[in-house]
Structure 1
């Protein structure tokens, strides 16, 4: 980030950033031409009033009137440089107006432009110098029709009016710039939040898809492999394996429809929502794994599984489902032990363990994302999960989840 960009982020109380139009543009816009012409005409009008007062004095020589006219015209023409050198022009016209009353109009416009296009500090310095010079001009070029005190008060009032008006215009421009910056920043933050929400939604859908479909597809892979390597198996065994493949494919399609339904807007689905698994669905999951040929020992010590919170029960189900899927892929033929304990106030604990496989087997490729997803699930549910190999070469997963009392 550059220094200028950093200053834009600071509040106006800490920094006075450069505003659009503070520096002369390489090419003037229509608005610039209109403003410059109005400024020139305003300075010329005030200068003509001062020149008329000088000419009305019979003691003033014609040469003085001519010189005042030329100097006043030059001062008004110098206003075309007010954007490029506002400080230098304001100082020069302030000094000139001390001896040339006709340049007073150009000096007021220069002070106004200085207050608009430059920060507070140089504006106050030049403005203080202009106020100090106000009493000098009536002493050098007194107006016989106006007293000294009236001339001083009128000059001070005009200078303060020009400076305050210019600072007001600059403050308004700063406010507009700040509001634009805040609007752009709010839009950027909104886009960032939307992108983050989309990313989190994608991660949640991917995690759910992995947890749900991996179990079904592993059953399909195992039984399809059995049919491939045992074409001479008894008809009953082939029929049972084909039935498991059919049921697993059907369940996988149902789960896939359910996950895709999350991506649809409300009212897009013409089916009722499918019930989510709970702690009471754990027995059906174990029976399904046993039907697929796995050896699973379930030790469910929860006396009231229906009273478990829905989110906690669903997390326990997904953990057991993923662990059984991993055991089927990486330790086929071994007996998997699933233990569930706990109750209201003490939380729920699920432990899944399997010994090391004894016979060689064809490994099913895995990405390792399942255990990461389980850890995230347990953390989001307010608990924790630990996993790792055991001393005998097996693998164990243990998770603890909250179950509030009452």
Structure 2
């Protein structure tokens, strides 16, 4: 059963629909936490509202005394109410918009409120409020005519002012949306890069540790089945176990070091930085085969490729390494044939073949993801991988990877 997600649990792709998350303003009716930039903007908006209010003082001198008093009180309260524009932007715009249909000194606060709604609220809210502001111009022009301007021109000027303020707010909102979207895309790209890096590390460690642990099991099994072996052979097997255990621990230490220094806030300048070991290439394949032979496997290598790029050779090495590990697990004692051939421009192929029967099968636990990981590795390199039994009673792992004519920086 899935649990309903809260606002803070939404995936990044869909958070942009929330105005409070998008613009950093307070939700309707909730307390606002202003940053230094917010304080500067709010002070500027307050001063603009006060300035427009002061400019309207000469227009009310010819009004009756009660109207002047009402104008002054409502104008002052409207300017003070500008500080509530982040907490109640819609309510402030509605109240000041209705009052500005007759009162002169509320106009400054009304303009600031309209601008705030345009910036902080979507079109389905800011659009009707802007329409209300345009409608309120009709009674204002009719009740407050200007001596030197005809009513139509005065109404057009007011409409132009309202639309200009609204358009300015829409532009700022669109810019904020764009910036926020770019930041979200950058965050998503960073998370994707981290995920791919974790998968790469997991795939690399599966290939390395599966090989080391299978070698340990093979040597330990030899000691178990031959407790009366000569002291020299026992010492040799024990040395091989110690060596492979040391290498396995070293590989684990490297991965733990990579994960530790890749976490957010990690200190990359610490003394416990784990250096990366040189990655294997195709030139290390004979050493791998010789190591398997010393462990008792019957491996035959046919290598017919020269000057293979490091990236391509490393992928082929890992594929052969995992295939040998599987052969050691499921067909221990059976002869294994490894064939690697190719040339620049035609690709590089690797084939590992062994009989299905086994005289000494290893009982090693596994996740069953080795061949799946090999297929993913081959596909990521632009190649293909096939595996399965043949009519001749053999199990074959066959991979083909592209070898371009021109070597890229990634291959090198």
Normalising by structure 2, what TM-score? 0.68
Q: Does 1:241 align with 2:251?
A: no
Return the alpha-carbon distance in structure 1 between the equivalents of residues 280 and 114 of structure 2: 71
1:401 maps to which residue? 401
Equivalent residue of 2:348, what SS? Answer: strand
Return the alpha-carbon distance in structure 1 between the equivalents of residues 246 and 109 of structure 2: 83
1:344 maps to which residue? 344
- Cα displacement (A) at 1:382: 1.9
Q: Deviations over 1:181-226 (max 9, x none)?
A: 4444444333333222222212111111111222122111111122
> Which of the pair has more CA radius of gyration?
1
Q: Does 1:252 align with 2:248?
A: yes
1:194 maps to which residue? 190
Q: Deviations over 1:45-73 (max 9, x none)?
A: 3354223xxxxxxxxxxxxxxxx333454
2:66 maps to which residue? 70
Return the alpha-carbon distance in structure 2 between the equivalents of residues 22 and 152 of structure 1: 44
Q: Deviations over 1:285-332 (max 9, x none)?
A: 1111111111112233x1x42x11111111111111111111111111
Return the alpha-carbon distance in structure 2 between the equivalents of residues 324 and 4 of structure 1: 48
Return the alpha-carbon distance in structure 2 between the equivalents of residues 18 and 247 of structure 1: 59
Unaligned runs of 5+ in 2: 1-6, 79-91, 118-125, 262-267, 407-412
Q: Residue 331 of structure 2 contacts residue 360 of structure 2 at CA under 8 Å; is this kept in 1? A: no
Return the alpha-carbon distance in structure 2 between the equivalents of residues 121 and 270 of structure 1: 63
Unaligned runs of 5+ in 1: 10-16, 52-67, 94-102, 139-150
Normalising by structure 1, what TM-score? 0.69
When the two chains are superposed, the root-mean-square deviation of aligned CA atoms in Å is 4.5
Equivalent residue of 1:153, what SS? Answer: coil
Return the alpha-carbon distance in structure 2 between the equivalents of residues 39 and 218 of structure 1: 81
Cα–Cα, structure 1 residues 84 and 220, in superposed 2: closer, same or farther, change >3 Å? same
Equivalent residue of 2:364, what SS? Answer: coil
Q: Residue 86 of structure 1 contacts residue 113 of structure 1 at CA under 8 Å; is this kept in 2? A: no
Q: Residue 383 of structure 2 contacts residue 402 of structure 2 at CA under 8 Å; is this kept in 1? A: yes
Aligned pairs (5 A) from 1:26-105: 38=50, 42=54, 45-46=57-58, 48-51=60-63, 68-74=64-70, 83-91=93-101, 93=102, 105=104
Return the alpha-carbon distance in structure 1 between the equivalents of residues 381 and 15 of structure 2: 46
Q: Does 1:288 align with 2:284?
A: no
Cα–Cα, structure 1 residues 43 and 72, in superposed 2: closer, same or farther, change >3 Å? farther
Equivalent residue of 2:61, what SS? Answer: helix
Count of equivalent residues? 354
